[in-house]
Amino acid sequence: MYQISIVQHSMNTSEVSRWCLDFPRQGQACTVDSLSDGLVFQGWVLVKDGAEAVPYLKLNGEKHYLPLNCQRADVITKVLGESADGHAQLTCGFRHTFALKQDSGVFGFEVGGTDFDAASYRIEGSLRILEGDEGWLYLDNDTNESVEQYQGNLLLDKNALKEWKSYLSAFTSLALEQNIRHTLLIAPSKEMVLPEFYPHEKGRTSPVEQVAGLSKPEHKLVYPVSQMRAMQEQPFRKCDTHWSPKGALVGFKAALEALGLDMEAVDRVFESDVYQESVRGGDLGNKLYPPRRAPEWLLTKVRYQKWVVYDNHLPNLGRVIVFLNEGALLNTKCVIFGSSSSYSFFNYAARIFSTLIFVHSAGSIDAGLLEIEKPEYVLAQTNGRFVVRAPVVTYDLEAEMDAKLDLLSDTQLKDLRKKHQAACSLPDGCLNFDIPSVFSCLLTTKV
């Protein structure tokens, strides 16, 4: 979904006495299909006696005239306060439809052979996008203020640093108490790995670097910026905030190394993987109009969905996905408390651990779930731009699922019930904590 942003200009001409652009309107919602079918430009113009003003649109350097083709009796009576019958400027309106192929343009009037730009419009997505060098796209006005973080204008204060120290210590202690190998993987932001394309200069430090500076060896914190910068392949998707499949593999392997796995054995699992070039959009490219796409290398012949035995289908926080793969490298259980970047390494993780439980919590830990499930490994994962708020080890998955369901519309709940009823049944003994039953009970309470 997009919306129209309009900025009006001052016109230095006395020949045009009044004008109005009825459509498009400021904030008008539109979709890719509606813009491709055509955006309506409708309005009117009144001129002084003897003058002539022809509306135009300037699109991608080309000028398109919008001839006056509509009688506007409402303008004559309401604006001029005169009778519309036989009025000389009765046909003062225009209505034309243009299929747009770019995200901006200029509206104005040609008067006596001279152009007077009256307004400019831009088609914007829900997020503003920064375009760097060579077409690389970055996040702009996100709620985490990633630009301010990168420039060093938004840093963690004493309380925030204290919360991070508490989280790192508590997570480590919890893992030791339950005899679980653990690690915290912070997925670097795109601009930290590819600063050469970013349109802003980096500050002396940033919140994620503050957090990395707090960590001790026993915390097992992994922040694989150097590994990703050293990649010969593309570490991030050009039109997306997330890392590429190969970038995700580098980050995931860094976490596996921190967990103490045999990395030679890990490498053998992935040594036959095949990648194929494909042109794709992304969460940034899709916010532009027209949507932006770019080539990227995708893993082929491996789809983690074949190992999914349960998915509650909640959007983002509170989502739970369970994978079973008897042919995995290790006959062990791993719980991932992750974020959106974790999805990018599911194709790899599902081949390492025979039982994999993913909880979308952005690194926060449900200690009770770990105590019940008793996994051999736990991987907490969050994104670099999220570190302005420290995760917690008091996360309550059941409460999160309940709260998320309260935010869904009736239509969304109906769709979710259908998906959940069609979910695959879990094999006996797969989960100690019966998440499907708990989630079903929560669903039945929502009317």
Q: Are residues 89 and 206 in the same domain?
A: no
Among 339-348, 385-394, 432-441, the minimum mean pLDDT is found in: 432-441
- Digit-coded pLDDT (tens) for 317-363: 999 999 999 999 999 999 999 999 999 999 999 999 999 999 999 99
Among 124, 148, 178, the domain boundary falls at: 124
Among 62, 89, 124, the domain boundary falls at: 124
- Digit-coded pLDDT (tens) for 105-119: 999 999 989 999 999
What average pLDDT score do residues 427-447 get?
A: 83
CATH of the domain at 34: 2.60.40
Q: Are residues 45 and 155 in the same domain?
A: no
pLDDT given for residue 422 in this prediction: 66
Q: Are residues 367 and 230 in the same domain?
A: yes
Q: Are residues 185 and 137 in the same domain?
A: yes
Domain span holding position 13: 2-124
- Digit-coded pLDDT (tens) for 2-59: 888 999 998 888 899 999 999 999 988 888 777 877 889 999 999 998 889 999 999 8
Could you identify the residue written with the tokens 């707090």? 214
Q: Are residues 274 and 312 in the same domain?
A: yes
Measured in whole angstroms, how far is the alpha carbon of residue 228 from the centre of its chain?
21
pLDDT given for residue 27 in this prediction: 87
- Which one is predicted more confidently, 61 or 391? 391
Q: Are residues 298 and 167 in the same domain?
A: yes
Asked if residue 150 has pLDDT above 80, the reply is yes
Q: pTM of the full predicted structure?
A: 0.79
What average pLDDT score do residues 295-310 get?
A: 95
pLDDT band at residue 165 under the 50/70/90 scheme:
very high
Q: Are residues 117 and 134 in the same domain?
A: no
Q: Is 437 domain-assigned?
A: no
Tell me which H or E stretch contains 387.
none
Q: Are residues 178 and 302 in the same domain?
A: yes
Q: Are residues 109 and 174 in the same domain?
A: no
pLDDT given for residue 129 in this prediction: 84
Q: Are residues 355 and 215 in the same domain?
A: yes
- Digit-coded pLDDT (tens) for 59-94: 888 899 999 999 999 999 999 999 999 999 999 999
pLDDT given for residue 332 in this prediction: 97
Query: What are the start-end ranges of the H helices in 180-294?
Result: 190-193, 207-214, 225-229, 245-258, 263-270
- Which one is predicted more confidently, 131 or 173? 173
Asked if residue 424 has pLDDT above 80, the reply is no
In whole angstroms, give the CA distance from residue 19 to residue 281. Answer: 39
Q: Are 91 and 68 in contact (CB under 8 A)?
A: yes
Neighbours of 326 (CB within 10 A): 8
Q: Are residues 273 and 188 in the same domain?
A: yes
Which residue pairs, CB below 8 angstroms and at least 24 apart, start in 18-24? 18/45, 18/46, 18/79, 19/43, 19/44, 19/45, 19/46, 19/53, 19/109, 19/118, 20/44, 20/45, 20/75, 21/107, 21/118, 21/119, 24/121
Instruction: Round the average pLDDT of the chain to a whole number and report it.
Output: 92
Q: Are residues 295 and 220 in the same domain?
A: yes
Q: Is 429 domain-assigned?
A: no
Number of domains, the chain = 2
Q: Are 299 and 245 in contact (CB under 8 A)?
A: yes
CA angle 305/359/376 to nearest 5° reads 90
pLDDT given for residue 2 in this prediction: 83
In whole angstroms, give the CA distance from residue 181 to residue 179. Answer: 7
Dihedral angle sign, alpha carbons of residues 231, 233, 234, 235: negative
What average pLDDT score do residues 379-399 get?
A: 96
Among 397, 417, 442, the domain boundary falls at: 397
What average pLDDT score do residues 241-257 get?
A: 97
334 three-state secondary structure: strand
Asked if residue 415 has pLDDT above 60, the reply is yes
pLDDT given for residue 126 in this prediction: 57
Q: Is 255 domain-assigned?
A: yes
Using the CB atoms, write b or e for 251-276: b if 16+ within 10 Å.
bbbbbbbbbebeeeebeeebeebeee
Q: Is 239 domain-assigned?
A: yes
What percent of the chain is predicted at pLDDT more than 70?
98
What average pLDDT score do residues 304-308 get?
A: 95
Most confident of 58-72, 209-223, 280-294: 209-223
pLDDT given for residue 33 in this prediction: 75
pLDDT given for residue 36 in this prediction: 73
Asked if residue 250 has pLDDT above 90, the reply is yes
Q: Is 193 domain-assigned?
A: yes
